[in-house]
Amino acid sequence: MEQRFAGRKLRLGCSWLSFSVLAAIQLALGAGVVRGQSGQRDGAGWTGETHAEEIVAARSAVMLEMERLMRPLDAHAAGEPGNPDLLREAAGTISTFLLTVPHLFPPTTNLYDPNAETPATLARPEIWEDFSSFHSLADAAAAAAADTLTASAAELPQAAARLREACDACHTRFMRTYSPPTVTEEDLEFDFESLFPAE
Ligand code: HEC
């Protein structure tokens, strides 16, 4: 590859500029930055680099949609009756979403801030310390969803319960637990009338 670059540069002539461009390309190759692309890091292929916040928003939307689709499945697992075909269809859509999940977590989206009141992301940095475990948990959840898609009517409640366990297995390890702001005793006793002068 280096030789091909070198050959191209030589045909262009050996000006100081092309020499320095070549040196820059070789440096980038050494650093593993250029992977068979033009080397433009703001190019169309560098979504993780240039649109990290958008990826966080996309995975949040995917997760929330899976949550919505899980509701009738959770209810069925808890003993409520349901239409097996509709439940299977929901599981099928969830399994498709789950296949995309590992790819919505490039390292550039490691934006976790434990001190932020409204965090940019709930994804914990441990994901990128052990990405293969994260990936396996996504695969296991996709498999559980596929099992739910093909379950018989009698098997559906148990299959749905196993799918929920697969969601939770990943959240327990890799998602920050969200604690909504709590109302303190002090807030409740606050004297709102003191804000308005008596007339
Ligand atoms: C492989 C790991 C993994 C699996 C499997 C997984 N999730 Fe998540 N989920 C996450 C992570 C990490 C976050 C935090 C994402 C962020 O904030 O950037 C998350 C966030 C969420 C959220 C909060 C979204 C928000 O922005 O408020 C919901 C709801 C959710 N997941 C539902 C589900 C459901 C339902 C399933 C199973 C059908 C599931 N997840 C499977 C890792 C996973």
Q: What string of pLDDT tens digits covers the 199 residues of the chain? A: 333 433 333 333 334 444 444 444 444 444 444 444 455 667 777 889 889 999 999 999 999 999 999 999 999 999 999 999 999 999 999 999 999 999 999 999 999 998 888 899 999 999 999 999 999 999 999 999 999 999 999 999 999 999 999 999 999 999 998 665 566 677 777 676 777 766 5
Closest-CA residue, ligand 1 atom 12, reads 123
Ligand 1 centre distance from Cα of residue 173 (Å): 11
Closest-CA residue, ligand 1 atom 20, reads 63
Ligand 1 centre distance from Cα of residue 118 (Å): 17
CB 75 within 8 A of CB 82: yes
CA 152 to chain centre: 31
Q: In the chain, which ranges are E strands? A: none
Distance, CA of 108 to CA of 158 (rounded, Å): 37
Closest-CA residue, ligand 1 atom 32, reads 63
The pLDDT value given to residue 193: 73
The pLDDT value given to residue 186: 72
CB 100 within 8 A of CB 58: no
- Top mutation candidate among 67, 171, 177 for ligand 1, by most atoms within 8 Å of CB: 171
Ligand 1 centre distance from Cα of residue 182 (Å): 23
In the chain the domains, ranked by start, together with CATH numbers, are 1-36 (no CATH), 49-174 (1.20.120.10)
The pLDDT value given to residue 13: 38
H or E segment to which residue 167 belongs: helix 156-174
Q: Two tokens at 96?
A: 């498709």
The pLDDT value given to residue 137: 98
Strand partners, 123: 175
- Top mutation candidate among 175, 177, 179 for ligand 1, by most atoms within 8 Å of CB: 175
> Which residues contact residue 106 at a Cβ distance below 8 angstroms, ignoring those fewer than 6 apart?
47, 48, 52, 55
Count of other CB atoms within 10 angstroms of residue 71? 10
> Which residues contact residue 179 at a Cβ distance below 8 angstroms, ignoring those fewer than 6 apart?
none
Distance, CA of 114 to CA of 160 (rounded, Å): 33
